[in-house]
Structure 1
Amino acid sequence: MEVKQVMNREVIAVSPEEPVSVAARLMTRHNVGALPVRDRDGSLCGILTDRDVVTRCVALERPLQETSVARVMTARVATVPPTASLDQAAALLSREQVRRLPVVEGRSLVGMVTLSDLSRQAPAQDTADVLREITANIKHL
C-alpha cells in the first residue's frame, strides 16, 4: 500500500510571515498538531508543530501575536513522496523521530501522513514496534 492511499489531502498550511497566534488558532480549529509552512511560491519551507510553539515561543515568553512562524518553525523537514510504501514512511517517521510527514510531489505539497494514519493500516505488532522505536529516543526536557 502507498502513502497516497492513506494520507490526508486536505492540508491546512501557513506562511512563514504569519504570527504564531494565527497558526495556533488554525491548529486548534482544525484539530491538528502541525502545519506545513509554504513560502510565497507555494513550496514547502518548514513545518510548525505544537511542540515548536511551546518550546520556542511560550517557554521563552515570546508574544504569540508578534512572533512570526518563520522564527519558531522547524526548517529542516523530512518529507515523503505519495508513491512511497507505508513501510518506507514508517521507517522515515522512526528515523526522524517525528509523528507526521508532509507528502510532497515535485515541489508541491499534496498531503500529510501521520503515525495514526499508518497505524490504522498496520498490524498491531508493527504499530507497537514503530511507537516503541519513536519514543525510545525522545529526549526529555
Structure 2
Amino acid sequence: MTTAREIMTAGADCVRTDQTAADAARLMTDRGVGALPICGKDDKIKGVLTDRDLVVKVLGPGRDAGTFPAGDLNQEEAATVGADDAVEDVLATMTRYKVRRLPVIDQQRLVGMISLADVARALPESQVGDLVEVLSSE
C-alpha cells in the first residue's frame, strides 16, 4: 500500500492567520509554490491559500495585500489527509473536496503537501482522469 507520506512533498510551510496576504505571496515566491496551508496560533491547519485566491479575493477587488489578513482567506473546513493514509484515500479526499492540493498531517502537525501531480505519478491513469474530470467541472 502506497501512503500519502511516500508521495508527498515534505517540509511544507504555513502562512499564519495573523500574517498578511502580501506575506503569503512572498512566501509562495520564495518557496516556488502556488499554495500554502493557513495555520492558526495553535499550529492547526485552517485552510489552504492558493495564488488564485490572492488574485481573485485580494488583488482583483482592489484590497491592500499588505494589510489584508491571510486568516480571512480560511475555508469553513480544512481538508487534510493523514501521512499514513493510503493514496486511494488521498484521491477520495481530493475528489470529495474538489481540491488540487492537500496538506498532509501527522498527529495534527503539518509534514507535507500533496498535489494533483503527486497523485498522478502514484495512481493509474484512469483514476487520475476521474479526479481531473471532477476538478474541471467547477
TM-score (norm 1): 0.89
Query: Structure 1 regions of 5+ residues with no counterpart?
Result: none
The Cα RMSD (Å) is 1.4
Q: Please, which runs of 5 or more residues in structure 2 have no aligned partner? A: none
- Is the 1:52–1:74 contact (alpha carbons within 8 Å) kept by the matching residues of 2? no
Matched, 1:16 2:17: yes
Number of residue pairs matched by the alignment: 137
Q: Which moved more, 1:110-119 or 1:124-133?
A: 124-133
SS of match in other structure, 1:93: helix
1:60 to partner: Cα distance: 1.4
Q: How much has 1:75 moved relative to structure 2?
A: 4.5
- Aligned-partner Cα distance in 2 for 1:18–1:75: 19
Partner of 1:36: 37
TM-score normalized by the length of structure 2: 0.91
* Aligned-partner Cα distance in 2 for 1:67–1:14: 13
Q: Verify the 8 A CA contact 1:80 1:104 in the aligned structure 2.
A: yes
Which moved further from structure 2: 45-54 or 59-68?
A: 45-54
Q: Percent identity?
A: 31
- Aligned partner of 1:106 in structure 2 is 107
4+ residue segments displaced more than 6 Å: none
Residues 71-121 of structure 1: CA deviation (Å, up to 9, x unaligned) = 223342111111111111111111111001111222211211111111011
Q: Which residue of structure 1 aligns with residue 88 of structure 2?
A: 87
Comparing both structures, which one devotes a greater share of its residues to strand?
2
